[in-house]
Chain A
């Protein structure tokens, strides 16, 4: 058995590199070896795990933005636009 400390490879990620891989990771575009290294880093790093959770939360929050509704005036303008178009064909 190799002691755990000895298994730290020179290709292990540091946190500053890991945060730059988050989008590629979430997009599923990391090559398999890089993905494994990233996940191995997360497994041992609560801060980067937290960071990833925050990015996920950010995406989720953006998805909850609801569009501003039309004002009655805008609605009328678009109805006008529609009727102008209808009359083009006449």
Chain B
């Protein structure tokens, strides 16, 4: 990621290879993010192409005040919102289910069905090759707003302020969405580990 600055410098200088390298790095997360705003993958692909065209047209004026990545995802989100004609901030915190299903606690609020220990088995599962797909699909299956935040924060590794800037949401909303999203993904993993031991 540190070489984004170098790649954008080369892109400005007219280096086609630098463009391909940037596309290679960001195409997949961009597509996944775009999918949460628009109704079909075909439209999402158009949005991504359109975004890259916007990047090429705008790169000469890109001043590096934000990181390239933030700039790129902001362009993407703006275009995807337009394409999806979805209202900004609509139902931003609509999903307010608990982090853990209430049935797992007793009436005093203590665990009656506590989490089993599985974190030590992660590396073995990863090597077996199943876990990577499972976590991917768990994120894809999140409600759109949660998916956007979890993708940018936890998959892309953006900071919370970067995510707020890209998605144009408040820190508070960002945290609620992140909390719901992570809680759900953890639940999926727990179920996955419980299933095949």
Contacts and interface: CB of A to CB of B under 8 A. Distances in A.
Nearest to B185: A58
* Residues of A in contact with B, size category: 35 or more
B20 A61 contact: no
A24 B27 contact: no
Interface stretch (A2-10, A15-23, A32-40): A15-23
A54 B139 contact: no
A65 B56 CA distance: 27
Interface string A70-90: 100011011101111110100
Interface in B6-55: 14, 16, 19-20, 23-29, 49, 52-53
Contacts of B83: none
A33 to B, nearest CB: 19
Contacts of B155: 62-63, 65
* SS class, residues of chain A in contact with chain B: helix
Given A54-B186, A54-B190, A69-B24, A63 B154 contact: yes
B52 A58 contact: no
Contact of B99 (A14, A20, A81): A20
Interface string A37-66: 000000000011011011101110111110
B186 A55 contact: yes
Contacts of A51: 100, 114-115
B61 interface: no
B179 interface: yes
A64 B24 CA distance: 17
B99 A22 contact: yes
Contacts of B27: 67, 70, 74, 78
Contacts of B57: 85, 88
B189 interface: yes
A16 B107 CA distance: 10
13 contacts: A15-B111, A19-B98, A23-B175, A47-B111, A57-B119, A61-B126, A61-B189, A65-B155, A67-B29, A78-B23, A81-B53, A82-B19, A82-B56
Which 3 pairs, one residue from A and one from B, show the smallest C-beta to C-beta distance?
A14-B109, A67-B28, A62-B154
